[in-house]
């Protein structure tokens, strides 16, 4: 077995036992990249030189007996919305095609501080707007499980890198499913943390109220390790929150798993529903209590999410004006034309669509009514989840209605938006959700499930996920 | 036709915090272009704002000084618009839950004899934008972001002002108060106090308001006063000639001394305000507000009124003393013990002393002058031991060394001769040698007396008490007339 096929946990132990070196791990990963990257296209930028130096440094330190973080020496892919000092950061957009930040995102500083090995910047839908990774203006990423299919989005490059063994771990970002959906399509594990648990500083925003950086890996254990490395309050991000102790501890006999009624609906592929139900059954066999739980208002999820997202996205994208950085149009007669041409040339159709919608929804004509009402309902939805968690510990649902689509199969934006229907709830309620594979369907494509917990329940989610991996998986 | 003038003001005051509103960059005027900038105030992708607590504290201070209600829970909003000097293409400001609401600014009018309350809508915190620099030699345009993110408060008044002189008094009160609170240096030439002036006219007696025009971003108190005068005149002319005032936004041109049209109504901007999602709600504790309250000293207009009431000073003197803490401290220390009129103390401090200080370009702190010595010197003038002129000589010494003024007077022979018999002898001598004096005086040329006093002073080497000499002269001349 190649080193690149192992988990972060296994590699970390091997490094400590000195049965392999960080440079050997990296070499194995680079080997995969050399063989597959031209087909998969997970990365926008490869940072091979940096990675080699980092790996070498880890080996030197380990040789000297220096105590290092548990993820030291583990190769990681970083979604290209995360700003990396001195390294191209494009957000998958032409408007930032040549943008090299002079600062690091806080999460990237944590990756560096943990002595992880940075393999490259992973592809994504332009400004993280999409569910198939096809809206990237710079790279075309395919699903390593089936190269005729999309990897999901927007963190498609991150998921593909892990699934294709082109990295051991990856950082994605999740606004309305952007970590979880590609995790499901590519058959890897991904977490959307409680809003505020991971710093957003230096992460190019889509919608500030929803964005969270999420860890991705082959196993729940790996995702747990990466989450522990990146989570925490950050003085540079005033929306981060201190961790609160989650009062429940995991015991399969005491676990009450809620079947998320609304998300087993007619849109979901029966094969997926069946697979998730099989997972539920295996929990039941080990002693867990199973209940059907209803969370109201799901018919509002998509419009509420879209209102808040487009308003914030339009404003967040306004700074790309061609004045200080990024693309600037060649010829213009005045500032007005500079703006119009720069932005018309620089943004792809998806950002444009959302800028138009968001600008309309926040216009003075409505006096902020759309966003205010949306926040009112966000509060209601959070309460609805709180009520649900009085009945059960966690909710379980399919991660998506369908398995990975064929490249180019999905063109209608409304259908693309709807792909994330299972994902919006956790985003709207600011609660964590773990996406993990629960089997393969008849076309041999991965099926993803999602377990959703109350605020601060990440550890509990990991415990449940790891129990499933250890005892229930067939 | 007679009109009532209706004016409302929006005043921007730059806060003199050490760092900017949302990042750690230096808040300092000037400097090499774009040298006080970081990824945050340059609006780079992915960065987040961080609220400067000191700026919030300063804004609360202003709110308390102007009698506002402080919102203990306040939020920041995005004001979205495109402009090359606006790094993020939105300004983080406040709309729905401003930090300070209501309140009023009390202004003094008619030489301090009248007070008027100008009600406030709110005071909120926001950030400044960068500066656009047009290169004169080419058509290139540059942007300097040193000012980008500098903390501001915006003070929004109700349309309670009725004249340009009220505009002046309002802005002066804001400037003086901000200086007194230590929250801004209010340097007009550095743009740290700027006003938007909204003006409309209303027919006298009518309750219907006229169409409002706005003059944006006026950088000086005089400019704002002049801009208001011009706009009132313009609107009066438009209405008087049967026209209708259109809604126009102007920009005050300081050099041309006139209002220039910026945009008409149809081009009004839609800012698409919404709550800033990158910042949490700002919660302020009542204890914090109480603590800030205790740090507020006597406010300028209170001081002016107190000086006028307690020391019977005219408004002009009280205003000058209010403006200068050192001089006022000196004044109050001296006036407390001085047996004569406090106005005399003010005259000395604002007159001769100020002249000497200005000439040497120093402040009271740089001189050796103590309130005790000044008071003793003034008492000597008051009881005729020295003349006013001698006082000026003594002051120059007192500025350099801490000695008793009487010692100086003795050393320099400045003590006045007030011995009746000595003075009578001198007067007699002078009158004998100048027989024309009584003759002319008898013919009604009374100003010849001045000449005689001068002659006496010469003989006394300037140490005679002129009042006494004059009395004796009169007595002797009139005595000779009778004889």
Does residue B402 share a domain with residue B430?
Answer: no
CB A118 within 8 Å of CB A52: no
Contacts of B131 (CB under 8 A, 6+ apart): B85, B143, B144, B146, B147
pTM of the model: 0.91
Residues of B whose CB is below 8 A from A335: 84
Task: Look at residue A120 and tell me if it is in a domain.
Answer: yes
Across the interface, whether the CB atoms of A319 and B39 are under 8 A apart is answered: no
Pair (B137, B161) in one structural domain: yes
Residues of B with CB below 8 A from A105's CB?
46
Show residues of chain A in contact with B46, CB under 8 Å. Answer: 81-83, 101, 105, 200-205
Q: Which residues of A88-111 are buried (b: 16+ CB within 10 A; e: fewer)?
A: bbbbbbbbbbebebebbbbbbbbb
C-alpha separations of B83 from A181, B88, B131, B260 in Å: 38, 9, 10, 19
Q: What is the pLDDT of residue B267?
A: 61
Per-residue pLDDT, B482: 46
Whether omega before A2 lies within 30 degrees of 0, making that bond cis, reads no
Cβ within 8 Å, pair A207-B80: no
Range of the domain at B452: 420-482
- pLDDT value at position B196? 96
d(CA A371, CA A379): 12
Residues B403 and B428 both lie in one domain: no
Find chain A residues with C-beta within 8 A of B277's C-beta: 207-209, 239, 312
Q: Does A321 sit within 8 Å of B82, measured CB to CB?
A: yes
Q: Is B242 on the interface with A (CB under 8 A)?
A: no
**Do B462 and B352 lie in a common domain?**
no
Closest-CA residue in chain B for A236? B50
User: Which of B24, B47, B134 to mutate: most A Cβ within 10 Å?
Assistant: B47
- The mean pLDDT value of chain A amounts to 96
For residue A64, being part of any structural domain is answered with: yes
Task: Tell me the catalytic residues of A.
Answer: 79, 154, 178
Residues B310, B196: one domain? no
Q: Report chain B residues whose CB lies below 8 A from the CB of A203.
A: 46
Please state, in angstroms and rounded to a whole number, the distance separating the CA atoms of residues A12 and A310. Answer: 41
Note whether B84 contacts A321, CB cutoff 8 Å: yes
β pairing state of A256-260 and A394-398: parallel
Distance to chain B for A413, nearest Cα, Å = 25
Q: Which chain A residues are closer than 8 Å to B50 by Cβ?
A: 235-236, 238
User: Are A201 and B51 within 8 A, CB to CB?
Assistant: no
B35/chain A closest Cα distance in angstroms: 15
Residue B277 has its nearest CB partner, among A103, A209, A323, at A209
CB contact under 8 A, B90 and A318: yes
Nearest by Cα to B10 from B215, B168, B201: B215
Binary contact (A238, B280; C-beta < 8 A): yes
Q: Are residues B312 and B371 in the same domain?
A: yes
B273/A364 CB distance under 8 A: yes
Question: How far does B171 lie from chain A, in Å, by closest CA?
Answer: 31
**Any domain includes A457:** no
Coil, strand, or helix at residue B31? coil
- Contacts A200 to B, Cβ<8 Å: 46, 48, 278
Tell me the shortest Cα–Cα distance from B124 to chain A, in angstroms: 19
Q: Which residue has the tokens 């919102």?
A: B71
Q: Could you report the per-residue pLDDT of A96-135, keeping only the tens digit for each? A: 999 999 999 999 999 999 999 999 999 999 999 999 999 9
Same domain, B187 and B106: yes
CB contact set of B314 (below 8 Å; sequence gap of 6+) = B111, B308, B343
Chain B hits for A107, CB-CB cut-off 8 Å, are none
Residue finishing a domain among B381, B411, B441: B411
Annotate A65-134 with three-state secondary structure: CCCCCCCCCCEEEEECCECECCECCCCCCHHHCCCCCCCCCHHHHHHHHCCCEEEEEECCCHHHCCCCCC
A236/B50 touch (CB, cutoff 8 Å), yes or no: yes
* Number of CB pairs, chain A paired with chain B, less than 8 A apart: 105
Looking at the complex, report in whole angstroms how far the Cα of residue B75 sits from the nearest Cα belonging to chain A: 13
> Which residues in chain A have their CB less than 8 angstroms from residue B279's CB?
238-239
Q: Which residues of B324-333 are buried (b: 16+ CB within 10 A; e: fewer)?
A: beebbebbbb
Looking at the fold, whether B455 and B358 belong to one and the same domain comes out as no
> Both ends of chain A: CA-CA distance in Å?
21
Domain-embedded: residue A336: no
- B280 in reach of chain A (CB within 8 A): yes
Same domain, B332 and B475: no
Residue finishing a domain among B240, B266, B292 = B292
Q: Give whole-number Cα distances, B132 to B147, B148, B219, in Å.
A: 11, 11, 16
Interface test mutation site (partner B, options A88, A90, A127, A321, max chain B beta carbons within 10 A): A321
Give the count of domains, chain B. 3
The number of folded domains in chain A is 1
Calculate how close chain A gets to B78, using CA atoms only, in Å. 8
The DSSP 8-state label assigned to residue B161 in this structure reads B
**B45 close to A (CB below 8 A):** yes
pLDDT at A473: 67
Q: Residue A163 corresponds to which tokens in the numbers above?
A: 């699934």
Q: Quick one: closest CA in B to A205, which residue? A: B46
**Which pLDDT does position A247 carry in this prediction?**
85
Return the CATH number at A104: 3.90.1300.10
Residues B367 and B270 in one domain: no
Query: Based on the domain organization, do B305 and B285 belong to the same domain?
Result: no
Return per-residue pLDDT of chain B as tens, 483 residues.
788 999 999 999 999 999 999 999 999 998 999 999 999 999 999 999 999 999 999 999 999 999 999 999 999 999 999 999 999 999 999 999 999 999 999 999 998 889 999 999 999 999 999 999 988 888 888 999 999 999 999 999 999 999 999 999 999 999 999 999 999 999 878 889 999 999 999 988 888 888 999 999 999 999 999 999 999 999 999 998 988 999 999 999 988 889 999 888 656 678 999 999 999 999 999 999 999 999 999 999 999 999 999 999 999 999 999 999 999 999 999 999 999 999 999 999 999 999 989 988 888 888 899 999 999 999 999 988 888 888 999 999 999 999 999 999 888 888 877 778 888 888 888 888 888 888 888 888 888 888 988 888 888 877 788 888 888 888 888 876 544
DSSP string of B137-157, one letter each residue: SSS-EEEE-TTTT-EEEEEEE
Cβ–Cβ contact B237 with A under 8 A = no
Q: Could you tell me which of B9, B47, B72, B45 has the C-alpha nearest to residue B20?
A: B47
Given the structure tokens 């006496």, which residue do they identify?
A: B456
Q: Is residue A308 part of a domain?
A: no
Provide the shortest C-alpha distance from residue A345 to chain B (in Å).
17
Residues of B in contact with A364 (CB under 8 A): 270-273
- A319 and B270 within 8 Å at the Cβ level: the answer is no
ipTM: 0.96
Which of B269, B272, B281 should be substituted to probe chain A, the one whose Cβ sees the most A Cβ atoms within 10 Å?
B272
Structural domain boundaries, residue A17:
3-230
Instruction: For residue B82, give how far its alpha carbon lies from the nearest alpha carbon of chain A (Å).
Output: 8
Give the domain CATH number at B471.
1.10.10.410
Q: B127 near B89, Cβ under 8 Å?
A: no
What's the distance, Cα to Cα, between the start and end of chain B in Å? 74
Q: Which residues of A touch B149 (CB under 8 A)?
A: none
- Is B273 at the interface with chain A, CB within 8 A? yes
Domain-ending residue, one of B411, B440, B463: B411
Together in a domain, B101 and B217? yes
**Cβ within 8 Å, pair B45-A312:** no
Whether residue A193 is contained in a domain is answered as: yes
**Distance, in angstroms, between B396 CA and closest chain A CA?**
57
Q: Which of A103, A209, A312 sits opposite B39 (nearest CB)?
A: A103
Q: Is B79 on the interface with A (CB under 8 A)?
A: no
User: Is B278's CB within 8 Å of A335's CB?
Assistant: no
Shortest distance, CA A92 to any CA of chain B (angstroms): 13
Residue A7 domain flag? yes
How high is the pLDDT of residue B444?
Answer: 84
Q: Which residue of B has its CA nearest to A102?
A: B39
Instruction: Measure the CA–CA gap between B248 and B227, rounded to whole angstroms.
Output: 14
- Give pLDDT, residue B483: 41
H or E segment to which residue A165 belongs: none
CA-nearest residue to B23 within chain A is: A236
- With a pLDDT cut of 70, the percent of chain A lying above it is 99
pLDDT less than 70: residues of chain A: 473-474
Contact call for residues A54 and A118 (beta carbons, < 8 A): yes
Contact A315 B45 (CB under 8 A): no
Point out the residue among A207, A321, A335 whose CB comes nearest to the CB of B89. A321
B167: left (phi over 0), alpha (psi -120 to 50) or beta: alpha
Does A271 fall in a domain?
no
Nearest to A201 among B47, B271, B275 (CB): B47
Task: Give contacts of B82 with chain A, Cβ < 8 Å.
Answer: 318, 321, 339
């Amino acid at each position: 077995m190649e080193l690149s096929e192992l988990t972060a946990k296994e590699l970390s132990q091997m490094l400590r036992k000195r049965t392999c070196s960080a440079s050997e791990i990296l070499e194995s990963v680079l080997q995969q990249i050399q063989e597959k990257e031209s087909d998969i296209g997970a990365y926008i930028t490869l940072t091979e030189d940096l990675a080699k130096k980092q790996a070498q440094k880890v080996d030197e330190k380990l040789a000297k007996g220096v105590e290092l973080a548990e993820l030291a020496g583990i190769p990681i892919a970083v979604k290209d919305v995360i700003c990396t000092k001195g390294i191209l950061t494009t957000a998958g957009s032409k408007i930032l095609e040549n943008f090299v930040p002079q600062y690091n995102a806080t999460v990237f500083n944590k990756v560096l501080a943990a002595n992880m090995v940075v393999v490259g910047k992973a592809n994504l839908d332009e400004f993280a707007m999409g569910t198939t990774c096809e809206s990237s203006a710079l790279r075309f990423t395919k699903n390593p499980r089936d190269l005729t299919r999309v990897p999901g989005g927007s963190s498609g490059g991150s998921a593909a890198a892990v699934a294709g063994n082109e990295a051991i771990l990856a950082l994605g970002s999740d606004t309305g499913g952007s970590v979880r959906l590609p995790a499901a399509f590519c058959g890897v594990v991904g977490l959307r943390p409680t809003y505020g648990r991971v710093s957003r500083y230096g992460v190019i925003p889509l919608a500030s109220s929803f964005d969270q950086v999420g860890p991705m890996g082959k196993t729940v254990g790996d995702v747990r390790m990466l989450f522990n490395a990146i989570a925490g309050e950050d003085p540079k991000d005033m929306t981060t929150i201190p961790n609160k102790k989650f009062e429940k501890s995991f015991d399969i006999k005491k676990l009450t798993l809620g079947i998320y009624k609304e998300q087993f609906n007619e849109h979901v592929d029966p094969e997926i529903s069946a697979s998730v139900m099989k997972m539920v059954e295996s929990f039941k066999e080990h002693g867990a209590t199973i209940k059907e739980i209803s969370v109201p208002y799901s018919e509002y999820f998509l419009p509420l999410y879209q209102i808040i997202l487009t308003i914030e996205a339009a404003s967040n994208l306004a700074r790309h004006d061609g004045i200080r950085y990024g693309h600037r149009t060649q010829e213009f007669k005045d500032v007005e034309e500079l703006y119009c041409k720069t932005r018309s040339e620089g943004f792809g159709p998806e950002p444009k669509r959302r800028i138009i919608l968001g600008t309309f929804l926040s216009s003075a004509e409505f006096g902020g009514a759309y966003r205010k009402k949306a926040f009112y309902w966000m509060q209601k939805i959070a309460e609805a989840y709180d009520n649900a968690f009085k009945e059960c510990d966690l909710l379980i649902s399919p991660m998506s209605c369908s398995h990975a689509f064929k490249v180019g199969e999905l063109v209608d934006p409304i259908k693309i938006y709807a792909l994330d229907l299972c994902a919006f709830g956790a985003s709207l309620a600011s609660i964590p959700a773990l996406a993990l594979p629960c089997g393969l369907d008849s076309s041999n494509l991965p099926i993803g499930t999602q377990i959703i917990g109350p605020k601060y329940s990440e550890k509990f989610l990991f415990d449940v996920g790891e129990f499933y991996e250890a005892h229930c998986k067939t | 036709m007679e009109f009532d003038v209706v004016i409302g003001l929006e005043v921007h005051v730059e806060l003199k915090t050490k760092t900017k509103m949302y990042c750690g960059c230096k808040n300092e005027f000037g400097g090499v272009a774009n040298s006080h900038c970081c990824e945050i105030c340059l609006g780079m992708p992915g960065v987040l704002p961080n609220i400067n607590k000191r700026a919030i504290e300063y804004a609360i201070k202003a709110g308390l000084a102007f009698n506002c209600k402080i919102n203990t829970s306040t939020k920041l909003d995005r004001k979205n618009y495109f402009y090359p000097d606006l790094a993020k293409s939105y300004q983080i400001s406040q709309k729905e839950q401003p930090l300070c609401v209501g309140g009023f600014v009390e202004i003094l009018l008619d030489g301090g004899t009248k007070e008027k309350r100008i009600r406030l809508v709110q005071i909120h915190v926001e950030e400044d934008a960068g500066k656009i620099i047009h290169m004169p030699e080419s058509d290139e345009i540059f942007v300097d972001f040193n000012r980008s993110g500098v903390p501001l408060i915006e003070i929004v008044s109700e349309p309670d002002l009725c004249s340009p002189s009220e505009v002046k008094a309002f802005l002066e009160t804001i400037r003086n108060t901000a200086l007194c609170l230590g929250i801004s240096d209010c340097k007009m030439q550095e743009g740290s106090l700027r006003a938007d002036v909204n003006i409309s006219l209303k027919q006298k007696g009518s309750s219907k308001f006229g169409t409002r025009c706005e003059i944006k971003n006026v950088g000086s108190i005089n400019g704002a006063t002049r801009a208001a005068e011009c706009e009132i005149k313009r609107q009066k002319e438009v209405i008087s000639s049967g026209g209708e005032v259109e809604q126009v936004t102007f920009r005050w041109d300081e050099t041309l001394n006139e209002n220039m049209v910026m945009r008409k109504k149809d081009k009004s901007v839609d800012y698409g305000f919404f709550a800033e999602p990158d910042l949490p709600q700002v919660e302020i504790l009542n204890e914090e507000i109480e603590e800030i309250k205790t740090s507020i000293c006597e406010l300028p207009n209170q001081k002016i009124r107190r000086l006028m009431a307690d020391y019977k000073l005219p408004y002009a003197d009280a205003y000058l003393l209010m403006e200068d803490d050192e001089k006022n401290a000196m004044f109050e220390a001296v006036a407390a013990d001085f047996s004569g009129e406090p106005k005399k103390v003010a005259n000395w401090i604002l007159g001769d002393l100020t002249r000497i200080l200005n000439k040497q370009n120093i402040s009271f702190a740089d001189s050796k002058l103590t309130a005790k010595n000044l008071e003793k010197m003034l008492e000597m003038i008051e009881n005729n031991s020295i003349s006013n002129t001698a006082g000026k000589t003594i002051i120059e010494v007192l500025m350099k060394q801490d000695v008793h003024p009487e010692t100086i007077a003795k050393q320099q022979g400045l003590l006045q001769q007030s011995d009746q018999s000595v003075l009578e002898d001198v007067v007699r001598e002078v009158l004998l040698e100048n027989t024309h004096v009584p003759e002319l005086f008898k013919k009604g040329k009374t100003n010849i007396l001045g000449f005689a006093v001068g002659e006496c002073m010469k003989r006394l080497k300037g140490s005679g008490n002129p009042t006494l000499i004059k009395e004796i002269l009169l007595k002797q001349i009139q005595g000779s007339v009778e004889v």
